[in-house]
Amino acid sequence: MPKVGMEPIRRQQLIKATMAAIDEVGLADATVMRIARHAGVSAGIISHYFGGKDGLMEATMRQILNDLGEAVSARRNALSTTSPRAHLEAIIDGNFDRSQVTGPVAKTWLAFWASSMHQPQLQRLQNVNDRRLYANLCHQFRFLMPREQARDAARALAAMIDGLWLRGALTPEGLDTDRARRLAREYLDQLLQSHDARSSRPSHEPQPES
Amino acid sequence: MPKVGMEPIRRQQLIKATMAAIDEVGLADATVMRIARHAGVSAGIISHYFGGKDGLMEATMRQILNDLGEAVSARRNALSTTSPRAHLEAIIDGNFDRSQVTGPVAKTWLAFWASSMHQPQLQRLQNVNDRRLYANLCHQFRFLMPREQARDAARALAAMIDGLWLRGALTPEGLDTDRARRLAREYLDQLLQSHDARSSRPSHEPQPES
DNA sequence: ATTTTTTTATTGAATGTTCAATTAATAAAA
DNA sequence: TTTTATTAATTGAACATTCAATAAAAAAAT
């Protein structure tokens, strides 16, 4: 059976098998044997390609975060406008991208989320991702409102996205992607309208400084 | 040492110790020995009072959900008005109640949240709680807007609350309670304003039936 | 074009550890 | 003295990891 150049194939297989196993029985019961069985290989191979279980877990989380980042980037790059609203909508849509929201990925994500509280390696990845979402949102809001307001808007929209996502992952029926996207977009509308209403009044409106 | 009537004392001690252990090392490494050590007793006592580790875990989650429910109820009962807005604000405040947001409780909550995806017993508790928050919110919004709109408002506010809460639990600095409360309240304002704006226009406004 | 050697991929069994649960013993209180 | 509370030691199962063995493929030598 052994052929050359199996490494990238096996790595991919095992990462996918990890998500399947976590989706099936949860992180706590996702043993190396179970994961290996899912991939149709022996348990030892995990240590061979990933150095151990931890390595596989980290690689799996990396993959998820990477996919998410690319889903967002792809939608933003497809835009021909620099309109902040369009970019904010792209960020929302990217976060509710199909590939991110499918059962196995969603559950794996949440499992890692929880365990990242106590695993420094995962925590680092988690934080990078969190900050990226916040920074992206904040940057776009800055075109539309003063700094502090933009920060709050970014914080709130980030919370809304994560909250919808979390509730979706937990309900037995899974996330209703269309509804989640719609609610997040409606919230974005409200944020922008709310600012328009405030800034169209004759008060001082501090424009974004550079 | 042995005295009569230790049961309620030990149970409380052990539940608290469970949260402390989970806060310290995470659910995965919260072994019975570690928990027992936190409580200053031996590991065997856990099986004696809770029938086993699972029993202790369930009791701990029950306690957290109970405390949360009481925090909300207490604030709502303290109101002398039936104003939907006041009740919605009380629900928000209750969810960001001090006792819920302290490090150990928050982390334990999130840990259970994740593991409830695969543990039927915890999942049941989780769902009851989720539905209660949604139903409470929905019922209040129904006084102010038509059914479908009220449902969406409830879903969105619930997501916002959970999202703020989740992000707070994950950041190393912990949740900024005041800011979270403020953002959730501002969102509530937007939801209510947004409806006012829509219903003050000369369109048909379906009043709450019943 | 064979044969030999080396490299790569993989397995299965063995190892040692960790854990929850059980049990027998102990000690205080009633 | 009997019951209640608790512990320390033990058991057995589950687990990740390691390692020697094997088998295929590729490369080198004949």
A210 pLDDT higher than 60: no
Q: How confident is the model at residue B146 (pLDDT cuts 50, 70, 90)?
A: very high
Q: B-chain residues within 8 Å CB-CB of A190?
A: 190-191, 194
Q: Point out the nucleotide closest to B39 (alpha carbon to C1′).
A: D6
Q: Which two tokens stand for residue A76?
A: 């933003």
Q: How far apart are alpha carbons A112 and A28 in whole angstroms?
A: 11
Within a domain: residue B14? no
Within a domain: residue A66? yes
Within a domain: residue A48? no
Average confidence (pLDDT) over A3-29? 92
Q: How confident is the model at residue A194 (pLDDT cuts 50, 70, 90)?
A: confident
Q: How far apart are alpha carbons B148 and A49 in whole angstroms?
A: 52
Q: What is this structure's pTM? A: 0.90
Q: Which two tokens stand for residue A36?
A: 């290996």
Q: Check: CB of residue A157 under 8 Å from CB of residue A187.
A: yes
| Residue recorded with tokens 């919370």 | A159
Instruction: State which nucleotides on strand D lie below 7 Å from a protein beta carbon.
Output: 4-9, 14-20, 23-26
Within a domain: residue B45? no
Closest CA to B190 of A59, A193, A68, A49: A193
Average pLDDT along chain B: 90
Closest CA to A187 of A149, A161, A150: A161
Residue that wins the pLDDT comparison between A200 and B131:
B131
Neighbours of B58 (CB within 10 A): 18
Q: How far apart are alpha carbons A147 and A144 in whole angstroms?
A: 9
Neighbours of A124 (CB within 10 A): 12
- For chain A, positions 94-113, list CB contacts with chain B under 8 A: 107, 110-111, 113
Q: How far apart are alpha carbons A135 and A157 in whole angstroms?
A: 12
Residue that wins the pLDDT comparison between A94 and A169:
A94
Within a domain: residue A178? yes
Q: Check: CB of residue A156 under 8 Å from CB of residue B168.
A: no
Give the residue numbers spanning the domain of A136.
Answer: 58-199
Within a domain: residue B25? no
Within a domain: residue A119? yes
B109 pLDDT higher than 70: yes
Q: Check: CB of residue A122 under 8 Å from CB of residue A191.
A: no
Domain harbouring A129, CATH code: 1.10.357.10
Q: How far apart are alpha carbons B34 and B23 in whole angstroms?
A: 12
User: What pLDDT, in 10s, does the model give residues B13-57?
Assistant: 999 999 999 999 999 999 999 999 999 999 999 999 999 999 999
Domain count, chain B: 1
Within a domain: residue B9? no
Q: What local confidence, expressed as pLDDT, does residue B1 receive?
A: 43
Q: A-chain residues within 8 Å CB-CB of B171?
A: 127, 130
Average confidence (pLDDT) over A25-53? 95
B5 pLDDT higher than 80: no
B210 pLDDT higher than 50: no
State which protein residues have CB closer than 7 Å to strand D. A 1-4, 29, 31-33, 43-44, 46-47, 52-54; B 1-7, 10, 36, 40-45, 48
